[in-house]
Amino acid sequence: QTKMILDLDTGVDDALAIAYALGSPEIELIGITGTYGNVLMEQGVHNSLAILDLLGHPEVPVFRGIDHSRTTSGFEVLEISAFIHGKNGIGDVEIPPSPRTADPRSAADFIIESVHTYGKDLVYVPTGPLANLAAAIERDPSIKTKIGNVVLMGGALTVPGNVNPFTEANISQDPEAAHLVFTSGIPTVMVGLDVTLQTLLTYKETARWRDLQTAAGVFLADMTDYYIKAYETTAPHLGGCGLHDPLAVGVAVDPSLVGTHAINLMCETEGPSRGRTIGDPARLNDPKKNTEVCLTVDVNRFLHEFMSRITGLATR
Ligand code: BDR
Ligand code: CA
């Protein structure tokens, strides 16, 4: 059974990614590492612990990670994020705080330890800035050849960004970390806006969770409705909210959900297009490609898996 680590800036779609992972019997969620972005790192860790408890999995450890990039304080985007994810990151829905605390080990140390323990059986799924993985690579470069796979939510190759025309939110928070990861030689799958803006959720689906009349179902519905409402203002043409982070988990569990293009990527770190994920001119002709960029997705099959896995989990 594949072991999975989720690396989250626990906002609404990150929370849905937790639910998707817990509802997937193909993988075992062995830990959640915390990063900053939608919320401050500490709030994200608090959210992850509470959500794991609410969804019936208090055995999964949560680790504190990097709380800002080399060039930011972690506070920069909180106002915009609060509009999309709520001030607390989970649609301003209140759930009981976990009696647990974070594991004393750091996110980077847990990643390194897990790579050495599980090797190719480990899949690491970051759905926030790539700061923790970059820190782990810097601390122990030997993990580059040992880690199984990295399936990341972030970036955009064939569509514009969502922060500005060049850059997507997760990558924009720490372009240096993204560049380090893309040029590290680690096999990565990029689940970016190319595909995540095709997989949309509406009030129709959240109503099904609410109708379950369980604490988990009502929480997931109320939290996600906040996010759908934000999308109605920021991207009304879409007709729903983007299932960014759960799609990364979906692809990590079942790569056949997407069609990919193999390319050696880099991330621009200078100038107006800082944060852009783009082909690396120096390695374009290298026959060995490190990144598979998802360009097509079987939307209906993914939505079916998403709903059945999460509904199954929230029914209990
Ligand atoms: C990404 O940015 C965050 O707001 C979401 O959680 C997702 O990971 C989408 O660009
Ligand atoms: Ca996220």
pLDDT tens profile 103-138: 999 999 999 999 999 999 999 999 999 999 999 999
What predicted TM-score, i.e. pTM, was given to this entire model?
0.98
Q: Which atom of ligand 1 is nearest to the CA of 9?
A: 6
Average pLDDT over residues 177-188: 97
Would you say the CB of residue 162 lies under 6 angstroms from ligand 1?
yes
Question: Residue type at 182?
Answer: F
Dump pLDDT digits (tens) for 274-284: 999 999 999 98
For the Cβ of 311 lying below 6 angstroms from any atom of ligand 1, the answer is no
> Residues 169, 206: contact at Cβ < 8 Å?
no
Residue ID of nearest Cα to ligand 1 atom 4: 38
Residues 6+ apart with CB under 8 A from 294: 189, 190, 191, 192, 194, 195, 251, 258, 259, 260
- Active site positions, annotated: 9, 244
> Average pLDDT of 178-184?
98
Top mutation candidate among 76, 125, 127 for ligand 1, by most atoms within 8 Å of CB: 127
Checking if the pLDDT of 289 tops 90, the result is yes
From the CA of 81, which ligand is nearest? 1
Ligand 1 probe mutation, 48, 153, 164, most atoms within 8 A of CB: 153
pLDDT for the residue numbered 316 = 83
- Kindly give the number of the ligand 1 atom that is closest to the alpha carbon of 84: 4
Taking a 5 Å cut-off on Cβ, the residues next to ion ligand 2 are 9, 14, 127-128, 245
Q: Is the pLDDT of residue 68 over 90?
A: yes
Tens-digit pLDDT profile for residues 50-63: 999 999 999 999 99
Residue 153 has pLDDT above 90, yes or no: yes
pLDDT of the residue at 247: 98
Tens digit of pLDDT for each residue in 234-248?
999 999 999 999 999
- Mean pLDDT, the chain, rounded, equals 97
**% of residues, the chain, pLDDT over 90:** 98
Instruction: Tell whether the model's pLDDT for residue 182 goes beyond 90.
Output: yes
Q: Report percent pLDDT > 70 for the chain.
A: 100
Span from the CA of 126 to the centroid of ligand 2 (angstroms): 8
Say which amino acid occupies 103: D
Residue nearest to atom 8 of ligand 1 (CA): 127
pLDDT score of 266 more than 90? yes
Residue 106 in contact with ligand 1 by CB distance below 6 A: no
The whole-number pLDDT of residue 170 equals: 98
